[in-house]
Amino acid sequence: MRPDVGPHEFTLRQRGDRIPRCPRTVADYLLGAMAACVKLDVFGKRMLVEWFDGAWRTYLLGAEGKRSPIHVPIPEWVTEDELAQYFDDLYHESATPQRPAVLRLDKRA
């Protein structure tokens, strides 16, 4: 666990940023256990990037709302505001004239 994040906190304090929170499961939602998350459009593919247990986890979002875990190595020093640029750098070969950049789909809290 990172020293700047307490055991029951899911807020990055490295740069004072607050991250939107999302429930991992219905049970988490009911219990109030929320994880930081960011939704991105990565050149046409919808992805969810979540900060949980001291690491970033990435999921591919399906049309029905299902999420499939995918392995994308994201260093823990990457902040929420840097995620779109980080994914743009990783997947820039997939850019098209219609989709020239990675877009953030969620609103900041």
27 part of a folded domain: yes
106 part of a folded domain: no
Residues whose CB falls within 8 Å of the CB of residue 38, separated by 6 or more in sequence, listed in order? 19, 20, 48, 49, 50, 80, 83, 84, 104, 106
82 part of a folded domain: yes
Query: What is the pTM assigned to this prediction?
Result: 0.67
Q: Which domain does 81 fall in, by range?
A: 21-99
Taking only the tens place, the pLDDT of each residue in 31-90 is 455 567 899 999 999 999 998 888 999 999 998 878 899 999 999 999 988 999 999 999
61 part of a folded domain: yes
109 part of a folded domain: no
13 part of a folded domain: no
108 part of a folded domain: no
7 part of a folded domain: no
The DSSP line for 66-79 is -EEEE-----TT--
DSSP, collapsed to helix, strand or coil, labels residue 82 as helix
| Domain tally, the chain | 1
Taking only the tens place, the pLDDT of each residue in 79-88 is 988 999 999 9
